[in-house]
Each structure stands twice: as structure tokens, then as C-alpha cells.
Amino acid sequence: MESIIKRIEKEIADFAPTKGVEETGIVRATGDGIAEIDGLDNAVMTEMVLFDPSHDRTLEEALKDAAPLYGLILNLEEDGVRAAILGDATKVYEGMLVRRLGRLLSIPVSDSLIGRVVNPLGEPVDGKGPVAGTKFRPIEREAYGVIDRAPVNVPLHTGIKAIDAMVPIGRGQRELIIGDRGVGKTTIAIDTILNQKNEPKESRPICIYVAIGQKESKTAKIVAQLQEAGAMEYTIVVTAPASSPAAYQFLAPFAGAAIGEHFMEQGKDGLVIYDDLSKQAVAYRQLSLLLRRPPGREAYPGDIFYLHSRLLERAAKLNKELGGGSLTALPIIETQEGDVSAYIPTNVISITDGQIFLLTDLFNKGMRPAIDVGISVSRVGSSAQTKAMKKVSGKIKLELAQFRELEAFMQFSSDLDEGTKKQIDSGRRMTEVLKQGNGAPLAFEMQAAVIFAAVNGYFDSFPPEGASKAEKSLQDYLVREGGDVLKTIREKKEIGEETEKTLRGVLEKFVERSAK
């Protein structure tokens, strides 16, 4: 652990200017949030600079300004450098002094960030004052190598039955959430944060929600929802709203990853949600074109794949020698008309360890979450499931895939044989049971009990359209009458012979009571 911290400190120290020498430059031209600077001959890529309106003070004095204006060097050219202005670009003018800060772009991180809303530079924007005890950390860094990593085998429960049963997510995994606009991508991410309240406090992940290019009203609504549910006590929000400069939207995910790594390297678990990387890609394209970099496919720069790969590779499960911490990434990508073959979706699909694909048609039919079972996959699979969930969820994906095929076939056939009709009814029941409302994640043990009931025919006495209502009644009944069996599943994380016998007894009583 010591060596990692020293390595990061060295990364920052390596780029410090020569002691006692302060290198300055002059803004040659400015426009569209980009400044062309002369005189910074020794500047390095992604180094921070300070725009200073005064020529007759030291760097230390300039940094004491109430709101210092920073820049980020992104182009190194023969006759100067180009930098993105991190803030109000109207305050930068030709002839303005620019000072090297001697460090790569870094943000302040500490445990005090928990419960706060910050911008991509780590500055609080929630009106609660400064963050205490911070230490600077570069937002860009090399991802951990294969030797430093451990297998992903500890589940990260989302509280959503369809995901935890069919496309399980492990701690240290990168699982893409993809779909058109307005089909519930953010809802899945927020429900996952809310569900961590159901996890034991000692193993609860620190959640980082990164809002990129979102309306400020939407982000404020999400923060209010998290506060109301008591989830802000383990959550950090990084926001780069649509009104912020393109440079902020490009940097926000990297800031979220740096904050997550701070906790991962303490041996804790972290969960970072990038909402969404489509908007980050557009912001990066905008910056790149303004920096006069050559455009490629769909006008994106050639390194757009590298942008997302170096970000998502930072999600990891560290080995025991490095503390055993983890950082799980849930990137979100927005598609146009369900086109997963577009440039950015295919890039991110190839980088991640699986995807949860949300279909507009299913959403419009009332299936919430609208997960397409056929395309959605987790490449970690059952390795990231508890024994209890593995036991009960084995048949679900196949059954639902067969049901979707039959449902499509059924449109062309009026008379069905008894076996097919029974299979279709069973599929409809399963679909209804897997429905789940917004902001209502289920604890793992409740999910296991409900899915056990569904796959073992305890909902067969209910009509398919009434299965969702019956499932909610079962949840209430299990809380009242099956508290002991739920506790056993939660503690042992498996359904042994004795537990199964007890659970079956509770379910049989529920069916009898419902029949009366």
C-alpha cells in the first residue's frame, strides 16, 4: 500500500519545475474555450497552468485568488502550446500571463468527500463549504496490470431481480448499461446506489455518481432522492452539467475514477457510475476539433477508443498484497434508435465485461426494467453470484429467451397446443415477477426467495397478469412470516436442504392463504 502512494506522489513530483525557477508564458490567442500560449517551452501534456491577470506577483500570491482560473495543456506544438480553459473563458484575453503549476492535472481527494457534490476539479458545488483533509491526486494514471489484480468473484448486488439473477455484476467488473434515451438507464444506476443500503456496513461500497452533460435540475433531483433515502452517507456526486465547458465534461469521468481509486487503495470497495460516456465523447470531439486535431469516423478523433479504454481499465479488483480493494464501473451509453453498431457503442461494448441492453419496445409495453435478455450478458457470469442466487436463477434466462421466441411466433398462430400455452403462461408469469418499480431495490435474500418461488411453480395458481401483484403480496408475507428464513439466507448466502424445506413450508402457506 505504501509503495502505491509513493508512486503517485512521485508521478506528481516528477513534473515540478526547477526549484526557484518560475516559468511563465503569454496568451497569443483565445477562442471557443481554447488558449494558444507562447513561452512555455518545458510544459508537459495534461499539465495544469494558471491564468493570471497580474504580472507583478508570485505564483503563491496568484494561487490565493478567490477563484483562480486554470487551464489544461492538451497540445504540444512547435511554436507553442494549446490549453483548454477550465472555467469562464471570457476572462482570458490576449497578452494575459500564464504560469506553470508544475503538476499534472490533479484533484483533491479525501474521505471527507463522502456526502458531497463536487465539480471535476474537486471543488464543492453544494454550498457546504470546503472539503477537509484533502490530498492531491492526478486524475489520469496508468491502470493496474494483470499481476496486481485478483479474480472478480464477489457480487455487487443491484437490488434489481432481473440483473442480479440473469446478468450479475461482480466487484471490480465493468458492466455497460446501454439503450435509447428515456428507457431507464439512470434508474438502474441510482437503484444500485440505493440498494447498497441493504449491504452490511463493513462491506458497503463507496458510490460515486458522475453526471456528464446532464441538466442541473436532473442532477439536483437525483441528489435529493439519494439524501431522502439516506444514501448520500456513502455517495459522492461529481457533476459537469450541460452548461459547463466541454473540458469539464471530458474530465468528469476521470475525476470520478481518481476518487474511486482513493478508496480502492485503502482496501475498500468502490462503485463509479459514468452517466453518460456518449456525452463525454461528444465533449472530447468538440475539444479535439477546436485543438485542430484531425477528425476521423463520425468526426471523432482517432484516440476516442483510447479515451474510454484508459478510463474503464482503471476498474479493478486488487489482490490481497495491495489491500484487496475494488472499483466497479457502470458506464452508461445512449444509443439512437437502438443502434448498437454505431461507433461509440461498439467501442465501449468491446472494452467492458458485458452489457445490460434496454429495449424501447419492452419499456413501452410496461416491462420495467426493460432488459433484453437475448443481448444482455455478463462475462463474469455466475462467478459473481452467491450460491443462493446461483441455485435459484439457473433456468430463468433460458426460459425467458424461449418465451420471447414463442411470443413472436404466437402472433401468427391462433390455436396453440396445451404444452405451448403452458410455456407461454409460465413465461408471462416470470416476466411479471421480474418487474420492479423505480427506487425500490430488493435486498439479496428477498430476491432469492421470490425467484425461488417463481422457478418452483408457487405462482402457477395465479393468472399470468396477476403474478406481479402476487409477488408483492409474497414480499409482505415473507417479511411478516418468513423473517427467520430470510435471515438465514442473508447470513449463509446459500439455500441448504434445511433452509429450502423451511422456505417451501412458508411458500405453501402463502399459496393456501391466497387461495382462500
Q: Are 372 and 358 in contact (CB under 8 A)?
A: yes
**In sequence order, which residues have a C-beta less than 8 Å from that of residue 483 and are 6 or more positions away?**
none
For 475, phi then psi, to 5°, come to: -60, -50
Query: Taking a C-beta distance cutoff of 8 angstroms, is the pair 251, 212 a contact?
Result: no
- Evaluate whether 154 touches 328 at the Cβ level (below 8 Å): no
Q: Are 26 and 38 spatial neighbours (Cβ–Cβ below 8 Å)? A: yes
The question of whether 490 is a catalytic residue gets the answer no
Q: Which residues contact 132 (CB under 8 A, 6 or more apart)?
A: 110, 112
CB-neighbour burial class of residue 394 (10 A; exposed 0-12, middle 13-18, buried 19+): middle
Chain centroid to CA 182: how far? 17
Is residue 8 within 8 Å of 95, Cβ to Cβ? no
φ, ψ of residue 453 to 5 degrees: the values are: -65, -40
Q: Are 180 and 327 in contact (CB under 8 A)?
A: no
CA 513 from centroid of its chain's CA atoms:
42
Contact in structure between 507 and 453 (CB atoms under 8 Å): yes
Catalytic residue among 141, 204, 310, 379: 379
The residues carrying an active-site annotation are: 379
